[in-house]
Structure 1
Amino acid sequence: MRRHSGPRGGKLNTKENKEAFKRLLSMLLERGGIKFIGIIFLTLIAAGVQVLQALYIRLLVDQIIIPQMESGNFDITPLFRLVLLFGLIFAAGAMSTLISARIMINIAESIIRDLRKEMFAHMQTLPIAYFDTTPHGDLMSRFTNDTQVLEQMLTNALPSFFSSIITLTVIIISMILSSAILFGVVIVTVFALIFAMRFIGGKSAVFFSAQQQSLGTTNGYIEELIEGQKVVKVFSREAQVIDKFKELNDALAHNTMMANRYSLFLMPIIFNIGNLQFAFIATIGGLLTATGATGLSVGGLVGFLQLSRSFSGPINQLSQQMNQVISALAGAKRIFELLDTPSEVDNGVYELARVCDDGTGGITECTECTSRWAWKNPETGELIELRGDIRFENVDFSYDGVHPVLKNISLYAKPGQKIAFVGETGAGKTTITNLINRFYDVDRGTITFDGIDVKDIKKHHLRSSLGMVLQDTHLFTGTVKYNLKYAKDDATDDEVIEAAKKTQSHGFIKNLAKGYNTEISGTASDLSQGQSQLLSIGRAELYNPPVLILDEATSSIDSHTERLVQESMDEIMKGRTTFVIAHRLSTVKNADAIMVLSRGEIIERGDHDDLLAQRGVYYRLYTGGFDDEE
């Protein structure tokens, strides 16, 4: 499992943050369209209202309060009119803020919905190698934690962020028009604010990025331990896994604490810089007003002070939202990293097509539901009947390009033959079946299917011709019938029952609470391991593929159940090319050919009797007590 030990450098991910922000902004403009333009317009109205507060104060002081104080004649009518006018203006500003917030929430939720859908759809296109190298908990964290913080930013922080930027722009223009000299005082404090935000915000970004990474790693470890609780308890490893979790949790807590520490530093610093700015403006503005050098009135000074307060407000908002924005950008980078992961490459041409006799001894494509299939080249119209002839010719393979797993593998499986692979763990047995499916591509050599290089067959069509029963059974949350029909959802109830009978699972299914309509969980905890494996075998039988791969398919079945299943399995494999990875040697005695692998090479081959006569590795395995039944 990959682990994150903490931030690595003071300016980590600065460029990536900018790229993620640009990408999010592009999505907002693209998905929001005219609605986003409306939000900007409404935000401008709300920002303009804040500027009008300064105008309101200046008019109140210069045209009502001071004149009436000087004349000694107090008339409430002008004050009432001014209050009523600006009350309507402020109400319009409040409505603009509410409407823009509602529109923004709708846009944000649609973006998150589409992102999740796009992430899930893209995940289905990724190669098996991605899932083999990416912790599942870390992948889940992208769908949950990362999208959650991004959603919070889009619905809360980002609207405030944009509103603050627009408001600041409008306020700055108003300040310059009101008093360029006093605005110079503001500029000095702005530089101090920018320095504080860049320095502290940059430090915070480092730890928020580390926090998201640590969160994914911790979630992955939790998921791994939940699945492996039996193993933990069997080997009394509770204390050790608690210590390991403490280490990961401490790293997560440290990164979270440091991220929030820096972000919390920012708010009081900005607040106090704002107070200093107010004091400087009041002092310098008071002197200018007293001397009358710039024509700045008392109302103008009070209005400018209001503008300076309004100026500090968006700055404070920016600082308060900064940690949320940075945290969301860290999550967005991880989401975009998933979306940018290259999809599985498929340059195949041949497709599966239903065929029937053309009346002259050949085959032709047809629409009827026949049991005959062919490989079709859409470019030429060529049809090659699917027979199940699979051959390896001098195949080399390594997962990392460095350490070989298979070396110079050559073998063939004629249509209808049963080929078995035996050997020690790590010999390369499962790797061979992964190459047939093109979960990985060979480094050297070729694999052909009915004379066609598997690289020339479209992956979806290649895999549609193969049925596979894995050692690690995986059932899905739903009914027993749903799981049996998973690969053939148009199967009839009679076909489902027939497949269950052939694989000896009909008996226990009838005894379940609701029979075939019994709900089971995705973890299959409500079934025994053997029953789950029987359902997996039944699923493959119902699929009825021309080629079947059994990866230690009976390893989870007890000896008594195995005897029942073996006869059915032999019947299932008739007329179908079958590759069997054997755990119990008794299950492969009737194989047409048995390949004994060691360290990625075939060291012996032949049928059961031939290999016993050779008195080599197979003989020692078979007679040395490795077989459960011998």
Structure 2
Amino acid sequence: MKSNVVKRLLKYIGKHRRFVLGALLCAVFSNILMIAGPFIIGKGVDNIVGKGRVDFKQILNIVVIIIILYLVSAVFQWSLQVLTSKLANRTVEGLRNDVFTHVTQMPLEYYDRNAHGDIMARLTSDMEYISEGIFQSVTQFVTGIISIVGSLVFMFILNPFITLVVIVMTPITFFIASFITKRSSSLFKEQSRLNGELNGFVEEMVGNQKVVKAFNYEDRAREKFEEINGRLYKAGRWAQFYSSLVNPSTRLVNNITYVLLGLTGGIAAIAGRLSVGYISSFLTYSTYFSQPINNITSVTTQLQTAAASAQRVFAVLDSEPEKPEAQGLVEFTSSEGKVSFDRVDFSYNPETRLIKDFSLNVKPGTRIAIVGPTGAGKTTLVNLLMRFYEVDSGNIYIDDINSREMTKDSLRKSFGMVLQETWLFSGTIRENIAYGKPDATDEEIIAAAKSSNAHSFIKRLPAGYNTMVAEGGGNLSQGQRQLLTIARVMLIIPPMLILDEATSSVDTRTEIKIQNAFNKLMEGRTSFIIAHRLSTIREADLILVLNNGQIVEQGNHEQLLEKGGFYSKLYYSQYENED
């Protein structure tokens, strides 16, 4: 699994070859210049120790060469940091774009199954962890490999026998690092998962503070947060504990190696096989050899976190998106408004059938009201009509054309939806109303606002139609937000309408005005009205009473009241509740 994640990540990195190539060249030149330094210094030391008279001119030349080497190496090292940073940021930019694009193509059921905060975490914090992991991988792994190989080459040149001491001790270092890393890897995965769970919970609590406070849920929310946070702390603590063992353990082995090199180097010097200057070079090279290993093990935490985050991000990309539409589908440009449900079956859960053998024929221009208790399947019918979900069996026809033979875009453009849940984005009032028609003129926008009775309150705002709407419409009342969403639909004037509790959040007086506007808008248009407040659907041509996914009654308001059946009980019960 981890190797597959690395391969996929490398494909994204490979899209920025110039940064990869530039970083590699800088790493090579920087390390070669650094590695050449100790060899030249060793010669300088031998020049001092091995001769009775010190040649200061030659020493000065060596010092100048060393300074130039290290200065040029520093420039390449700085360039490496800059190029690697750009590489990491560009890679994550491309990955984030792909993930967001993929998320927008996911069916609605994906959002029903997954916490929104967790999805957001994968697009934000997990991406940052990946960026940091890429940066550390290039700056530590690549430069480390070059430093290790270069140091080994120079040590072999100086004394192959002493170099064997380093080679023998090195596998011990890698064995310790691998042993500990395997045990901490699962903990880092759990840490990433819990981080997503915590983000999801925080997003729910922060986004619904009014409900939290209204139900005095603060203490329970805090207890729940502390419980999740406690599990996150426990997973993070043990992950950090195991990963923190790597660096001290490898440093201990490297220090033992350093001592052994000093002893064997001293013996070689006594035997005349190695000069004092080259002993100092050898010891420096052993540091150059061990330091990258220490650096790599010291960033193990970031790398494992990045790997766990990458696995979570690619899990999103591996989720099944909406199936691409087949070629040759009908581009639905206009509609008479004829709608038919033909023996439709549907369920969210295969074990529980919600809609069963449902059939309905709607004539053009008819106002259909759909009522029933909670869970009866009212909103589900709308979801199927808009193809937010696909039917399990049966067919839905628009103007005698199977809806599955139409493109989804053209089908959905034929409907205007006003939902109970108001959604506004950060932008001006004007931009929010023109969401479905960006090229609308000011006159059209104002006319739509007047039709929805939103114009009067908009004019009272500080900047009128240019007033900025806070995220989610937080600076507007619920009723004002609802009026804007109604104006949004009135602007596009679609052939068919879906009103899902569209006036549930406004006062009675405003509701009457909106209802009059809707009556004007619905003239000659097929309209589906979902309502719990049955007083709002008296003018409907046909009222469908649903229960357990089936039509139990149908007729107009007067007919259903005369029957004294299910609808009548629903209608009169709401007035009993009001009393």
Q: Normalising to structure 2: TM-score of the pair? A: 0.95
Q: 1:51 aligns with which of 35, 46, 61?
A: 35
1:116–1:143 Cα contact (<8 Å) kept: yes
CA displacement 1:20-77 (0-9 Å, x = unmatched):
222223322222x133223212211222223213312331233x02331xxx222211
1:586–1:629 Cα contact (<8 Å) kept: no
Task: Give the letter aligned to residue 600 of structure 1.
Answer: G
- For residues 143 and 627 of structure 1, the distance between their equivalents in structure 2, rounded to whole angstroms, comes to 49
Match of residue 522 from structure 2: 573
After superposition, the Cα gap between the structure-2 partners of 1:572 and 1:159, relative to the gap in structure 1 and judged at 3 Å, is: same
DSSP 3-state at the match of 1:427: coil
- For residues 53 and 476 of structure 2, the distance between their equivalents in structure 1, rounded to whole angstroms, comes to 92
- The answer to whether residue 335 in structure 2 is matched with residue 350 in structure 1 is no
2:176–2:246 Cα contact (<8 Å) kept: yes
- For residues 164 and 351 of structure 1, the distance between their equivalents in structure 2, rounded to whole angstroms, comes to 59
Match of residue 24 from structure 1: 9
- For residues 522 and 97 of structure 2, the distance between their equivalents in structure 1, rounded to whole angstroms, comes to 39
- The answer to whether residue 208 in structure 2 is matched with residue 228 in structure 1 is yes
Q: 1:338 aligns with which of 316, 323, 342?
A: 316
Task: Give the letter aligned to residue 22 of structure 2.
Answer: G
Q: 1:309 aligns with which of 287, 290, 297?
A: 287
- For residues 44 and 8 of structure 2, the distance between their equivalents in structure 1, rounded to whole angstroms, comes to 46
Match of residue 73 from structure 1: 53
Task: Give the letter aligned to residue 593 of structure 1.
Answer: L
- For residues 18 and 576 of structure 2, the distance between their equivalents in structure 1, rounded to whole angstroms, comes to 71
- For residues 29 and 576 of structure 2, the distance between their equivalents in structure 1, rounded to whole angstroms, comes to 81
CA displacement 1:282-312 (0-9 Å, x = unmatched):
22232233335xx444333332222111111
1:417–1:576 Cα contact (<8 Å) kept: yes
Task: Give the letter aligned to residue 65 of structure 1.
Answer: I
1:186-585 → structure 2 map (5 Å cutoff): 186-292=166-272, 295-348=273-326, 349-352=328-331, 373-374=333-334, 386-585=335-534
Task: Give the letter aligned to residue 72 of structure 2.
Answer: A
2:37–2:69 Cα contact (<8 Å) kept: no
- For residues 439 and 461 of structure 1, the distance between their equivalents in structure 2, rounded to whole angstroms, comes to 14
- For residues 312 and 185 of structure 2, the distance between their equivalents in structure 1, rounded to whole angstroms, comes to 14
- For residues 291 and 34 of structure 2, the distance between their equivalents in structure 1, rounded to whole angstroms, comes to 10
Deviation at 1:351, TM superposition (A): 4.4
- For residues 81 and 227 of structure 1, the distance between their equivalents in structure 2, rounded to whole angstroms, comes to 69
Extract unaligned runs of 5+ from structure 1: 1-14, 354-372, 375-385
After superposition, the Cα gap between the structure-2 partners of 1:406 and 1:627, relative to the gap in structure 1 and judged at 3 Å, is: farther
Task: Give the letter aligned to residue 314 of structure 2.
Answer: F
DSSP 3-state at the match of 1:329: helix
- For residues 127 and 576 of structure 2, the distance between their equivalents in structure 1, rounded to whole angstroms, comes to 51
After superposition, the Cα gap between the structure-2 partners of 1:519 and 1:73, relative to the gap in structure 1 and judged at 3 Å, is: closer
CA displacement 1:207-228 (0-9 Å, x = unmatched):
2222222111111111111122
Task: Give the letter aligned to residue 486 of structure 2.
Answer: I
Task: Give the letter aligned to residue 4 of structure 2.
Answer: E
After superposition, the Cα gap between the structure-2 partners of 1:158 and 1:403, relative to the gap in structure 1 and judged at 3 Å, is: farther
- For residues 491 and 628 of structure 1, the distance between their equivalents in structure 2, rounded to whole angstroms, comes to 44
- For residues 173 and 394 of structure 1, the distance between their equivalents in structure 2, rounded to whole angstroms, comes to 78
- Which moved further from structure 2: 110-119 or 160-169? 110-119
Deviation at 1:433, TM superposition (A): 0.4
2:19–2:86 Cα contact (<8 Å) kept: no
- Which moved further from structure 2: 36-45 or 567-576? 36-45
- Which moved further from structure 2: 115-124 or 242-251? 115-124
- For residues 324 and 139 of structure 1, the distance between their equivalents in structure 2, rounded to whole angstroms, comes to 21
DSSP 3-state at the match of 1:486: helix
Runs of 4+ more than 6 Å apart: 627-630
Task: Give the letter aligned to residue 536 of structure 2.
Answer: T
DSSP 3-state at the match of 1:391: strand
1:6-25 → structure 2 map (5 Å cutoff): 15-16=1-2, 18-25=3-10
Deviation at 1:188, TM superposition (A): 2.7
Deviation at 1:137, TM superposition (A): 0.8
DSSP 3-state at the match of 1:86: helix
- For residues 587 and 518 of structure 1, the distance between their equivalents in structure 2, rounded to whole angstroms, comes to 32
After superposition, the Cα gap between the structure-2 partners of 1:239 and 1:347, relative to the gap in structure 1 and judged at 3 Å, is: same
- For residues 400 and 161 of structure 1, the distance between their equivalents in structure 2, rounded to whole angstroms, comes to 48
> Over the residues paired in the alignment, what is the CA RMSD in angstroms?
2.0
After superposition, the Cα gap between the structure-2 partners of 1:291 and 1:458, relative to the gap in structure 1 and judged at 3 Å, is: same
- Which moved further from structure 2: 592-601 or 34-43? 34-43
Q: How many percent of aligned residue pairs carry the same amino acid? A: 37
Deviation at 1:317, TM superposition (A): 0.8
Deviation at 1:157, TM superposition (A): 4.9
- Which moved further from structure 2: 437-446 or 205-214? 205-214
Deviation at 1:508, TM superposition (A): 2.0
Deviation at 1:553, TM superposition (A): 0.7
CA displacement 1:437-474 (0-9 Å, x = unmatched):
11110111111111121111111121111111111111
1:392–1:410 Cα contact (<8 Å) kept: yes
Match of residue 61 from structure 1: 45
- For residues 626 and 288 of structure 1, the distance between their equivalents in structure 2, rounded to whole angstroms, comes to 103
- For residues 464 and 351 of structure 1, the distance between their equivalents in structure 2, rounded to whole angstroms, comes to 13
DSSP 3-state at the match of 1:523: helix
- Which moved further from structure 2: 157-166 or 615-624? 157-166
- For residues 329 and 293 of structure 2, the distance between their equivalents in structure 1, rounded to whole angstroms, comes to 61
- Which moved further from structure 2: 279-288 or 172-181? 172-181
1:347–1:456 Cα contact (<8 Å) kept: no
Task: Give the letter aligned to residue 529 of structure 1.
Answer: Q
After superposition, the Cα gap between the structure-2 partners of 1:576 and 1:167, relative to the gap in structure 1 and judged at 3 Å, is: same
Task: Give the letter aligned to residue 162 of structure 1.
Answer: V
- For residues 69 and 324 of structure 2, the distance between their equivalents in structure 1, rounded to whole angstroms, comes to 61
CA displacement 1:174-206 (0-9 Å, x = unmatched):
333433322322123212211121122223322
Deviation at 1:116, TM superposition (A): 2.7
- For residues 169 and 22 of structure 1, the distance between their equivalents in structure 2, rounded to whole angstroms, comes to 24
Q: 1:173 aligns with which of 126, 144, 153?
A: 153
